[in-house]
A and B are shown apart, each in its own frame.
Chain A
Amino acid sequence: MQMPEPNTAILARKDRVVARLRDVLPGGAVISDPAETRAYECDALTAYRCAPMVAVLPGSTAEVSAVLKICHEEGVPVVPRGAGTSLAGGSLPTADCVVLGVSRMTQVLETNYADRYIRLQTGRTNLSVSGAVAEADFFYAPDPSSQLACAISGNIAMNSGGAHCLKYGVTTNNLMGVTLVLMDGTVVEIGGAHLDAGGLDLLGVICGSEGQLGVVTEATLRILRKPEGARPVLIGFDASETAGHCVSDIIRSGILPVAIEFMDRPCIEACEAFAHAGYPMCEALLIVEVEGSEAEIADQLDRIIAIARTHDPVALREAGDADEAARIWLGRKSAFGAMGQINDYMCLDGTIPVSSLPEVLRRIGELSEEYGLGVANVFHAGDGNMHPLILYNANTPGQLELCEALGAEILKLCVEVGGCLTGEHGVGVEKRDLMLHQYRPVDLEAQMAVKDVFDPEWLLNPAKVFPLTSSEARRMAAE
């Protein structure tokens, strides 16, 4: 992984920068001791690490603004950070940067059930947003699997989604407004408690911009009333392709499940061994969840089961009660942990048109054989967001590189069939250099033009998203 060389002139200014930061932040909020900055050296993509020059943990928008103003004046790059659960190296520091963490900014500022929104500081974790409105039977819909840990700030920057976004959409569909601090310290309010933008949809661009356009300190999120109930059905097939066809048929039929999850045999076996959820041993499993009242749930599940039967399922299990429902989800929810128990793995994140599912699964199987590395598949099938897990042995020299090469082939395959390189984890440093497989230079040029406007000196979250060769001229000019 190539990162820009640290700027020695900046490193030479470290003492002054630290002193200035201490002037505007309370004691303890500026971390400059190399032993302590280590804690910020990577996110959940732990293969790449680099301790930052300084880390700061401001407590308010005003403090964030003060920090950015100083960094702007000193020409110091800034890497915004939420909880550090990015799987794409989105919050990977450079040695000459200030990591700006919002983990101390966790207050709920306002809840409004009549108008169905919550306003909060963005360091708050995803799951605790639903927690904050649970007493009124409301919830916040986007539910990344990392929701216990990840922060709303990271969700906004990565436009995160989860199992239930087939029905409820991802972060961008549930975000109404943000307080954004620009690199020069200017504070702007974009959107708010009303729907849709008055002018250009800047909110839409901020969401998913991977911390490169500004630091998001507060957010207004849509909250929804909880449905009366939800229940899954588990359907097993003797071929992955068949499961793929079944997904298409369910979607075509006009039923809108809240989730359709897919697991293939290697994944089923690993999960079963780990979680003992009682899964049937077969080539592919679907978990389809629907919502509503008891009668509505029963009606929808009947229809889904009727569709499934036309594909000769080898197993069919309807959850009779909450316990059985929990058991159906148990295996799926422990999939990543289970795979980690038996093997090192690399988790990919690509998206494909649902109709290409059978073909893509077949070709992943072929590639897996060609490279001699196992691939387990577990993913959000309803919206085509795949997470192939490539199994390898980290201790065997050369396997990581082989694994990366296979990963790149699979992601290119996703693009080839009309999909994209990342459906929810983001580009970060991980997929930066694959961007030219999905976009032409002119397309990236248009995206970089947006960065030019928000962050003319290219100081925010350096060397992410765009291939280094594409952004080189801009980064040089800015130095």
Chain B
Amino acid sequence: MMKPQSEAELAEVVAGANGPLRIVGGGTRDVGRPVEGEELSTSGLSGVTLYEPGALTLVVRAGTPLGEVEAVLAGEGQRLAFEPMDHRGLLGTSGEPTIGGAVAANVSGPRRVQAGACRDFLLGVRFVDGAGRVVANGGRVMKNVTGYDLVKLMAGSWGSLGVLSELSFKVLAIPQAEATLVGRGLDPEAGVKALSVALGSPFDVSGAAHLCGGAARTQVRIEGLEASVAYRRDRLKELLPGFEAVEGADSAALWAEVRDVAPFAGQAGAVWKVSVRPSDAPGMCKALAEGGLAHQAILDWGGGLVWLLVPETGDGGAAAVRGQVAALGGHATLVRGSAALRNTVPVFQPEVPALAALSRGLRAKFDPRGILNPGLTG
């Protein structure tokens, strides 16, 4: 295992590598096609380099544990608004998730639907590309259109374009209050309809999820100043007959469960993450069931993000799920599955040829020797 202690050392290590590298932050996930390669740990690149609460900006080294980042921010009443998931439960892994891993996977939680994704809060990156060059893009200000936006490109690139060394973020204040309206026993269609009503209201909803199944639960979150939350809670109650309000820590617990896909954590099976048009989600689940794929579903992002738990037999539901996505548009990722399964079905959504050619072209430019997490993304 290699564990550089500085960006310069990281650059040397990558430049001097003579074979594939498996990049590891906290190693809390084991997703993507399993990578054969020497382990390159980013955990030596740790610590906050700059934090200006009054400018809402944080600059941090990529190997910094997410927990540490969150603690530093909480000390000033702030947070990462994109609500990154802790997926140790779901994947049964241990270790400390890093901020670099969250960015490399563009990890965005339930607030995605209102606040945006991890990539939307990422203001700047420094990374070492596959040739060992240190590259900077973006900066630490919220508006920046100086040249091409490689910041977005790096978010969600799964370490296939470069090893992130330093990241800057826009952070936001932790709101004074939060509340969640909870409806019970709705079918997915009615659930998503309720979520759409809430998201189509002027009440600034910051989370909208539906957990399917026997104890179906539909939940809508609002956050902000106390008086404002109380007002919007009451208005939303009028829009969502039968929904009950849950406040404070109880509300937060409901969202941690959705964020971490907790209902699937202890259960066996493969887990898919599917992104579709919200109103298509119930129909998709129905079609999957009718097509013979037994599953459990959690619909986040107003229905736009569908987590599916399916039996890990055969292709782990790949043909059925991808067939649906082909018909509806969107994409599906196999987030949990045995190494054998992940070696046989594409983990990430296969791209159409013209897009695949562009992605291949970019990877060839940034990692000419093909040594960064080779094969991971399919």
The answer for the CA separation of A242 and B143 in the assembled complex, in Å, is 23
Is B277 at the interface (CB under 8 A from chain A)? yes
The answer for the CA separation of A129 and B223 in the assembled complex, in Å, is 28
A16 cross-chain contacts in B, Cβ below 8 A: none
- Given A200-B362, A383-B143, also A446-B56 (CB < 8 A): no
- Contacts A200-B153, A251-B55 known; list 14 others, CB within 8 Å: A172-B149, A172-B152, A192-B329, A196-B117, A198-B332, A199-B355, A227-B204, A256-B173, A293-B231, A295-B227, A355-B54, A355-B55, A450-B150, A452-B361
Tell me the chain B residues, 99-148 only, with Cβ under 8 Å from chain A. Answer: 106, 108, 112-113, 116-117, 119-120, 129, 133-137, 139-148
Contact between A205 and B279, CB atoms less than 8 A apart: no
The answer for the CA separation of A248 and B54 in the assembled complex, in Å, is 5
The answer for the CA separation of A263 and B165 in the assembled complex, in Å, is 38
A166 cross-chain contacts in B, Cβ below 8 A: 142
The answer for the CA separation of A447 and B146 in the assembled complex, in Å, is 11
Is A85 at the interface (CB under 8 A from chain B)? no
Q: Which of B26-34, B87-95, B345-353 contacts A (4 or more CB under 8 A)?
A: B345-353
The answer for the CA separation of A170 and B116 in the assembled complex, in Å, is 11
Is B57 at the interface (CB under 8 A from chain A)? yes
Q: Which of B13-21, B60-68, B194-202, B243-251 contacts A (4 or more CB under 8 A)?
A: B194-202
**Interchain residue pairs A-B with the least CB separation, the first 9:** A204-B152, A198-B331, A254-B173, A198-B349, A423-B143, A453-B361, A248-B54, A449-B365, A194-B330
Is A422 at the interface (CB under 8 A from chain B)? yes
- Can you spell out 24 A-B residue pairs with CB atoms less than 8 angstroms apart? A115-B196, A116-B302, A138-B200, A194-B275, A198-B275, A198-B331, A199-B349, A199-B355, A199-B356, A199-B377, A200-B362, A201-B106, A202-B358, A227-B202, A248-B55, A255-B173, A256-B173, A351-B141, A351-B144, A353-B141, A384-B142, A443-B136, A446-B135, A450-B362
Contact between B156 and A158, CB atoms less than 8 A apart: no
A296 cross-chain contacts in B, Cβ below 8 A: 225, 227-228, 231-232
Contact between A427 and B231, CB atoms less than 8 A apart: no
- Given A195-B117, A300-B225, A453-B365, also A439-B147 (CB < 8 A): yes
A300 cross-chain contacts in B, Cβ below 8 A: 225, 228
Among A172, A182, A445, chain B packs the most CB atoms within 10 A around the CB of: A172
The answer for the CA separation of A194 and B306 in the assembled complex, in Å, is 11
Q: Which of A205, A228, A384, A421 contacts B148 (CB 8 A)?
A: A205
Is A311 at the interface (CB under 8 A from chain B)? no
- Given A197-B156, A199-B355, A292-B228, also A249-B147 (CB < 8 A): no
Q: Which residue of B lies closest to A442 (CB)?
A: B133
Contact between B355 and A190, CB atoms less than 8 A apart: yes
Tell me the chain B residues, 143-196 only, with Cβ under 8 Å from chain A. Answer: 143-153, 155-157, 160-161, 172-176, 193, 196
Q: Which of B134, B143, B201, B304 contacts A194 (CB 8 A)?
A: B304
Q: Which of A209, A418, A438, A443 contacts B135 (CB 8 A)?
A: A443
- Given A204-B155, A418-B140, also A195-B275 (CB < 8 A): yes
Q: Which residues of chain A have a CB within 8 Å of any CB of chain B?
A: 112-116, 137-138, 158-159, 161, 165-166, 169-170, 172-173, 182, 186-190, 192-205, 207-209, 225-228, 248-249, 251-256, 292-293, 295-296, 299-300, 303, 351-355, 380, 383-385, 418-427, 431, 435, 438-440, 442-447, 449-454, 465-466
Contact between B108 and A196, CB atoms less than 8 A apart: yes
Tell me the chain B residues, 255-290 only, with Cβ under 8 Å from chain A. Answer: 275-279
Contact between A158 and B145, CB atoms less than 8 A apart: yes
A137 cross-chain contacts in B, Cβ below 8 A: 202
Q: Which of B57, B113, B202 contacts A226 (CB 8 A)?
A: B202
Contact between B225 and A450, CB atoms less than 8 A apart: no
Nearest chain B CB to A445 CB, angstrom units:
8
Contact between A385 and B153, CB atoms less than 8 A apart: no
Contact between B155 and A254, CB atoms less than 8 A apart: no
Nearest chain A CB to B62 CB, angstrom units:
17
Contact between B200 and A295, CB atoms less than 8 A apart: no
Contact between B351 and A228, CB atoms less than 8 A apart: no
Q: Which of B108, B143, B157, B361 contacts A385 (CB 8 A)?
A: B143
Contact between A447 and B156, CB atoms less than 8 A apart: no
Contact between A115 and B279, CB atoms less than 8 A apart: yes
Among A182, A204, A431, chain B packs the most CB atoms within 10 A around the CB of: A204
B153 cross-chain contacts in A, Cβ below 8 A: 200-202, 204-205, 450
Is B305 at the interface (CB under 8 A from chain A)? yes
Contact between A202 and B176, CB atoms less than 8 A apart: no
The answer for the CA separation of A209 and B365 in the assembled complex, in Å, is 18
A197 cross-chain contacts in B, Cβ below 8 A: 156, 331
The answer for the CA separation of A293 and B279 in the assembled complex, in Å, is 28
Contact between B148 and A195, CB atoms less than 8 A apart: no
